[in-house]
Amino acid sequence: MRKKILLFVLWACLFPALLISAQENVPEDSRSVVMRSTLIGAGFSNVFDTYLSPIEYEGFDVRLLHESIRDTRLMDGRVSFQSLTQANFSYTENPSKTGSMYTGLVSWNCAFHYRFRINDRLQALFGPMLDLNGGFIYNVRNSNNPAQGKAYGSVGASGMVVCKFRIARYPMTVRYQANLPLIGAMFSPEYGESYYEIFSLGNEGKHVSFTSLHNNPSLRQMLTLDFPIRKVVMRVGYVCDLQQAKVNRLKTHIYSHDFMIGFVKHFYLLK
């Protein structure tokens, strides 16, 4: 099992370089279409971690999202490369309002999407994805084991549907995307084990666990609408981020629902 985990971590570290190398080794024409967007938003969060508390905590969440999509020459130009970075922070309280938790999570994923063009206005995209995550949960009430670190990664599937339409003569674009992790690895202390025992006393244990749909059924979804205001393309959206796991007899979930707003830029890169 340790050899499999080490091989997965090595592969995950090399995967982004392989993706970039794949693009660089393919003949390209004189220019490439690039879309970049930056969104900021806020919403609701539900946090639960049995390492810190047996109770769910609920409160508000803020999120920052940056996305870049670039056309490639792979498969006659039908493949695009996406890089998506998200950071969210939440403040949550228990039902009796006697305790609170702070949660921060940063995620980055990259994906190749093969484009299925249904017609001039509708297209579907699907491909492999690499997803990396890191963060923390801090419980203000706890004096023993006050915080839980988050570090996990996976490979999975990513898909989206893009539809262009007009209201009168006003052009708009709506998109739905879903990212599903399938197989990966996650760091976690064992049940009843403190971080002091891990890092100061050097306790050996099963601190890195294999994950798949059976113990890490997570899903990130995003729905966006693009519309121009004069020369600026605005974007509004909704992010549904459902992260959950059960490893080392510890259960955790971070559910976030955020409404986003920002802008989009389309431009060409000369090659």
Q: What is the pLDDT of residue 3?
A: 53
Q: For the segment 7-18, what is each residue's pLDDT rounded down to a tens digit?
A: 554 554 455 444
Every domain of the chain and the residues it spans:
2-270
Topology of domain 2-270, CATH? Lipocalin (2.40.128)
Query: Rounded to an integer, what distance in angstroms lies between the CA atom of residue 39 and that of residue 149?
Result: 26
User: Percent of the chain having pLDDT more than 90?
Assistant: 72
- Residue 154, pLDDT > 80, answer yes
% of the chain beyond a pLDDT of 70: 87
| pLDDT-based confidence at residue 271 (cuts at 50, 70, 90) | low
pLDDT tier, 27 (very low <50, low <70, confident <90, very high otherwise): very low
CA dihedral sign, ordered 58, 242, 89, 190: positive
Give pLDDT tens digits for 91-140: 999 999 999 999 999 999 999 999 999 998 999 999 999 999 999 999 99
Instruction: With cut-offs at 50, 70 and 90, classify the pLDDT of residue 195.
Output: confident
Question: The dihedral of CA 213, 148, 153, 67: what is its sign?
Answer: positive
